[in-house]
Amino acid sequence: MFTGTTTLAVAQALPKDGKVYALEIESYMQEFAQPYFQQAGVADMVEVLVGPASEGIAKLAAQGTRFDLAFLDADKTGYLGYYNQFMDLNLIVPGGAIIVDNTLMKGRTYYSGGVKDELADAIREFNEVVCKDPRVDVVALPFRDGVSIITRRHEVRPDVDEIVTGAAHSRILQRLKLNSKVALITGAGQGIGRAFAHALGEAGAAVAVADINGEAAARVADELAAKGVRAVAITADVTQAKDCQRMVDSVVDRLGALDIAVNNAGVNFNNAAEDTPESEWDTTFSLNTKGLFLCCQAEGRHMLARGHGRIINTASMASLLVPHPQKQIAYNASKAAVVKITQTLGAEWADRGLTVNCMSPGIVNTALIQSDALRPLAKEWLQQIPMGRLAEMSDLQAAIVFMASDASSYMTGHNLVLDGGHTLW
């Protein structure tokens, strides 16, 4: 049962480079389950070790394997021995967990009225040892047979510096989490903004999805809500100062605060310089430059009053070179201005608790790039990029989380370039 359904479910929930080890006493279970692992596409992620569990644990320890999660549901009289192996052989990473089933035995662990109950006695002893173990924290979930979540503590010593303990006693991956933070993303109804919204939501933030297209914003907010992210949709025209202020006020009113602002809304036109109409220039600068500044201004007022915040602007590699063969003078100039706005605000607000940075993506494989006008240029672009491929929106997601998190607390006024090496040639 566990080598089948549970192992398969865990493997499907892991990233593709994840690994699940199933310790199974019956060899036929490995043979029975293997075709289903193949059918589900996770066979490479699952390894079944047949034999006594204690031998399997010792083998894994000998080869240096360590785990984020261990699930223990075997012979109850063996629980304590397995637990001691997990901990004494250093198989569980700090912050990792051991999930233990049947730790209340339907209440039998609370009863010792002279009736011999070998299994309940074994579980009672197990629970007592775990509760006294200074290496772990334990939470018991009191339903049916009971489930205990045993988390290995990070070792904290008073005689070591924060390189050992982690800044503010937070390990590096903890510093990338955005739990309890509120993020606003403009232009989030599609494309890169949508990818940013999902990334920040997955990292733990509540997300305000802002876009001039209210229906598109609502669709993305619904996507986030379906993933368990607290999300709201806001319709806003960021070229209007009143709309920018209303947008910020709405985020604060509906989500309680504003900690992270990603100003991503933008537009691009392709025209030779001598043919660029004044209206096209005005439209580009109205959104890409003036609109971005108005957003920074409204967001900054709120964050300055609170004494902390992260503002991240979407610039472009066009701020560093002249992309070709397409001609886009208005876009290039507007994005160069975004970098200078970012640097200026980063310097002005650095000593008041705010960081202001920007990201300059290379050519990103969006629906726009797949349009009839731009698709024919892809072959030439690929020859200009050392990595030999366009950026995918997923390539930008980890970077936006870093820029929004405490891990980037000493970075401000910076233009983070993610272009596959495009600006190197």
Residues labelled catalytic: 331
SS3 233: strand
CA atoms within 13 A on the CB side of 73: 17
The DSSP code sequence of 13-49 is HS-TT--EEEEES-HHHHHHHHHHHHHTT-GGGEEEE
For residue 325, cis peptide bond before it (omega within 30 degrees of 0): yes
Q: Look-up: residue for tokens 């904290």? A: 156
Rounded to 10 degrees, the C-alpha dihedral 28/31/36/37 comes to 110
Cα–Cα dist 250/238, whole Å: 14
16, 23 in Cβ contact below 8 A?
no
Contacts (Cβ under 8 Å, ≥6 apart) of 179? 204, 205
For residue 52, cis peptide bond before it (omega within 30 degrees of 0): no
Give the start-end residues of each E strand in 78-141. Answer: 92-101, 136-141
Cα–Cα dist 343/284, whole Å: 21
* Bridge partners of residue 169, in order along the sequence: none
Q: What values do phi and psi take at 95, rounded to 5? A: 90, -10
CA distances from 165 to 90, 134, 193, 261 (A): 18, 17, 35, 30
- Tell me which DSSP letter residue 373 carries: T
Q: What values do phi and psi take at 74, rounded to 5? A: -125, -155
Cα–Cα dist 418/425, whole Å: 14
350, 412 in Cβ contact below 8 A?
yes
Cα–Cα dist 143/367, whole Å: 49
Contacts (Cβ under 8 Å, ≥6 apart) of 1? none
Cα–Cα dist 250/140, whole Å: 40
